[in-house]
Amino acid sequence: MTDDAAQPPSEMTADLETITSLAKRRGFIFPSAEIYGGFAAAYDYGPLGVEMKRNIRESWWRSMVQERDDVVGIEAAIITNPNVWVASGHVSEFTDPLVECSSCQGRFRADHIEDGRCPTCGNTGTLSQPRRFNMMLSTIVGPVADESGRAFLRPETAQGMFVNFENVQTTMRRRLPFGIAQVGKSFRNEITVKQFIFRTREFEQMEMEFFCHPDSSLEWHTYWKKERLRWYYSLGIRPQHLRLRDHRADELSHYSKATSDIEVHFPWGWGEMEGIAHRGDFDLTQHSNHSGKRLTYFDPDTNEHVVPHVVEPAAGVDRILLTLLLDAYAEEEVKGEKRVVLRLAPSVAPVTVAILPLSRNEKLDPTARRVHSILRPHFRTQWDDAQSIGRRYRRQDEVGTPLCVTVDFETIDDDAVTIRERDSMEQTRVPISGLVAALRERLDALAPVVPDIDEISV
Ligand code: GAP
């Protein structure tokens, strides 16, 4: 399923421009502070985007924490003791080689330069020698604006788990193997920012550090590759748009013994959505050396202290959201007209059921409101009564709403409504008394079929 040679990827229907435009037009994602001309690589999530992000996070949290016995969650500070970043290696190693153009003052990643030519002004012979540029964003903490207050905005959530290893292990009385998970914002002063929300300076990560005995760490690495792929299938992403790729030795991060990426076939080529790294004992050893605190695990069976090894599945919420939009997008011809539809799985769709009163009308309104109040506790609903019913169906298709419920004048007499399905466009009359069950059944039928972990080969 993951071997791209065996299964060539089908092209995504949408290009990035189409998705960027839909995201803005329909209230998913706006350029940040657009009224001031925006801000490079910063985006604001609108009402539908924010719902989708919540769905992604909640699905991840359910599968990584709540449905498991061996993982617990934390929320660590974004700005913490700067020594954390010295110990983690980010102060010395988290750098990109940059060149500067003496003609236009542009800065570029040295490995992105072709023919010694400046990518902006096109001059040759104006680029400096590469210099190391640290990608952490920093700030000054406290009332005195000098270097003594220098602190960093975390470039990954992972270190929060390492520095809390002992707190969590002892308070939760954990035995190996166990994991600590966290979802939250991370910040990097990325130099090359393009491709919409694929690479931004402020983004959200979902990371889990799985602490295990060194003898079983390779097995756990394989397990997490499969389990994480399974989760992406559960979001409905087409398997042919996903692949697993092992890093070459020269690509590995400073902490990693082995890393595999779950990659997506984006319109511009394969790109990372999640890294699954074998971090060995690097982080606990580093923090132990720098803090002077022993960060080991006492194995009661063998009476030995071991430094656990760590397997880390690390994903980005924003990249997953972009992938879902690209993968779900389809254009079709219906009765001679173009229909745009996002075939999102119900678990991630911003709205699962839209309530559409046939018209804005005093007689219809109380019945339609009653239907909405019946459905609201069970589904992510949206009330939509503007424009013709046909246009409203198209609008809901374009934002991926799986089901619409139309309340018409007959409803007042027969206490029944029409369910209209996004994918088949089929319409069925259903009594209000059985509406919740009928909708639930249809949403369940739309949920992706997820293979068993043993059926996934990596
Ligand atoms: N703790 C390991 C770590 O941070 P990473 O591969 O640098 O690993 C993990 O980041 C994930 O975070 C990536 O696979 C990606 O989804 C997301 N990510 C990283 N940098 C990003 C950026 N600048 N913009 C958006 N997402 C980013």
- pLDDT 10s digits, 195-236: 999 999 999 999 999 999 999 999 999 999 999 999 999 999
Distance 307 CA to ligand 1 centre (A): 26
Angle at 95 between CA 93 and CA 100, to 5 degrees: 150
Answer whether residue 200 is part of any domain: yes
Report how far residue 301's alpha carbon sits from residue 298's, in angstroms, rounded to the nearest whole number: 9
Distance 182 CA to ligand 1 centre (A): 14
The predicted-structure confidence for 141-176, as pLDDT tens digits, reads as follows 998 888 999 999 999 999 999 999 999 999 999 999
pTM for this entry: 0.93
Answer whether residue 100 is part of any domain: no
The predicted-structure confidence for 404-450, as pLDDT tens digits, reads as follows 999 999 999 999 999 999 999 999 999 999 999 999 999 999 999 99
Please tell me whether residues 246 and 369 are part of one structural domain: no
Answer whether residue 127 is part of any domain: no
- Kindly give the number of the ligand 1 atom that is closest to the alpha carbon of 277: 2
Residue 44 neighbours by CB distance under 10 Å: 14
Distance 319 CA to ligand 1 centre (A): 9
Average pLDDT for the chain: 94
Please tell me whether residues 310 and 364 are part of one structural domain: no
User: Which of 386, 375, 359 is CA-nearest to residue 430?
Assistant: 375
Please tell me whether residues 306 and 382 are part of one structural domain: no
Please tell me whether residues 378 and 283 are part of one structural domain: no
Number of domains in the chain: 2
Report how far residue 132's alpha carbon sits from residue 130's, in angstroms, rounded to the nearest whole number: 7
Q: Which two tokens stand for residue 126?
A: 């104006």
How would residue 107 be classed by pLDDT, with cut points 50, 70 and 90? confident
Answer whether residue 209 is part of any domain: yes
- Kindly give the number of the ligand 1 atom that is closest to the alpha carbon of 158: 1
Please tell me whether residues 162 and 281 are part of one structural domain: yes
Please tell me whether residues 60 and 209 are part of one structural domain: yes
Please tell me whether residues 301 and 363 are part of one structural domain: no
Distance 204 CA to ligand 1 centre (A): 8
- Kindly give the number of the ligand 1 atom that is closest to the alpha carbon of 193: 23
Mutate to test the pocket of ligand 1, among 153, 190, 197, 205 (most ligand atoms within 8 A of CB): 205
Distance 275 CA to ligand 1 centre (A): 8
- Kindly give the number of the ligand 1 atom that is closest to the alpha carbon of 188: 23
Residues whose beta carbon lies within 6 Å of some atom of ligand 1 = 156, 158, 188, 190, 199-200, 203, 205, 207, 272-275, 312, 314-316, 318-319
Answer whether residue 279 is part of any domain: yes
Domain that holds residue 68: 16-77+157-325
User: How distant is the alpha carbon of residue 350 from its chain centre?
Assistant: 14
Q: CA torsion angle for 340, 346, 348, 350 (degrees, to 10)?
A: 60
How would residue 3 be classed by pLDDT, with cut points 50, 70 and 90? very low
For residue 195, what is the domain's CATH number? 3.30.930.10
Please tell me whether residues 186 and 298 are part of one structural domain: yes
Of 110-114, 262-266, 413-417, give the lowest mean pLDDT range. Answer: 110-114
